[in-house]
Amino acid sequence: MGNDLTKITPSSGFTIEIGAASTVLVASKIGLPISTTHCKVGSVIMVGRIRNKQGVNWKLFRNIAAAWILTVPLTALCSAAAMALLQLAL
């Protein structure tokens, strides 16, 4: 992620960390399950977008978002396949 998604300076890095930490704290306080990785990427995107409208590598973000979307279904399919193989073996 880092500098590939948007340019990160010490001050923007601090802002990213505060934004991600605040999001995690608020979500935890109200009982929502949350991914710290998603919060960090969201903070990087927001800081890059606020700094400069063209400051975000949207192609890289599209790949990250696709990975997020595909992770759960692919993991479920792999688990189902493993379970089916185990049931056949028993």
pLDDT for 35-89, tens place per residue?
898 999 999 999 999 988 888 999 999 999 999 999 999 999 999 999 999 999 8
Write down the pLDDT at residue 90. 81
C-beta separation of 48 from 37 below 8 A: no
Model confidence at 2, pLDDT cuts 50, 70, 90, reads low
Measured CA angle at 38 (ends 26, 36), to 5 deg: 55
pLDDT surpassing 90 at residue 15: yes
Q: Side-chain half-sphere of 74: how many Cα atoms within 13 Å?
A: 6
pLDDT surpassing 70 at residue 13: yes
Write down the pLDDT at residue 52. 85
